[in-house]
Amino acid sequence: MKDIRFIQLKDGKIAVFSRPQGGNAGRGKVGFFIINSFEELTHKLLFDAPFLNLFSDLEWGGVNQVRLMENGDLGVIGHIAKMNRDDSLHYYPMMFTINPKTKEHSGVKILFRRDDLQKGESKNKRLRNVLFPGGFVDNLDGTIEIYAGAGDAEVYRVKIKNPFEN
């Protein structure tokens, strides 16, 4: 299990994003459920949470940060990943939104790629295209700054248009 994230909803309940691995989850799918309090949280709930249909069978990913939007939806920054035939990894910062009441969600939108950044270092060739978002800061001017690790060797602060605003 990786990337467990919690956020309190407007009604006081708690939305939970999990990321089990193995079995039906493969390399990692995003599970989602709502609890009334942390006393309800169990190992079984985390591992048996219904998956959001975000990734193909060849992809995996997880949730890195969640924000409660004014309309009650959740804005999610996460990562989506795949492996190429040459065994190289490709991780991308992504976003989606979800209505916690209906569990309807948008599709995944990739926010930027390694080639969008200045040329940099990586721990090895296999990790060159790995961008892993750690979180973001809302600048309150229509932009956000995402902090992302790159190639297991560097960190970038990337300013983009706020993907949660229309």
**CATH number of the domain enclosing 114:** 2.115.10.20
Q: What is the pLDDT of residue 24?
A: 87
Tokens 């009334």 locate to: 36
Residue at 126 is within a domain: yes
155 within some domain? yes
Residue range of the domain that includes 10: 5-161
Query: Does residue 71 lie within any of the structural domains?
Result: yes
- The number of domains in the chain is 1
Mean pLDDT of the chain: 95
Nearest by Cα to 78 from 58, 98, 49: 98
The average pLDDT across 19-46 equals 93
The predicted model scores a pTM of: 0.93
pLDDT-above-90 percentage for the chain: 89
If you average pLDDT over residues 107-116, what whole number do you get? 95
Q: Is the pLDDT of residue 66 over 70?
A: yes
Out of 23-27, 76-80, 104-108, 154-158, pick the least confident.
23-27
The token pair at 89 is 């990894």
The predicted pLDDT at position 3 comes to 85
Fill in the DSSP letter of residue 119: -
Return the pLDDT at 166: 67
Q: Is residue 166 part of a domain?
A: no
Angstrom distance (rounded) from CA 68 to CA 129 = 30
pLDDT-based confidence at residue 68 (cuts at 50, 70, 90) = very high
The confidence score (pLDDT) of residue 26 equals 87
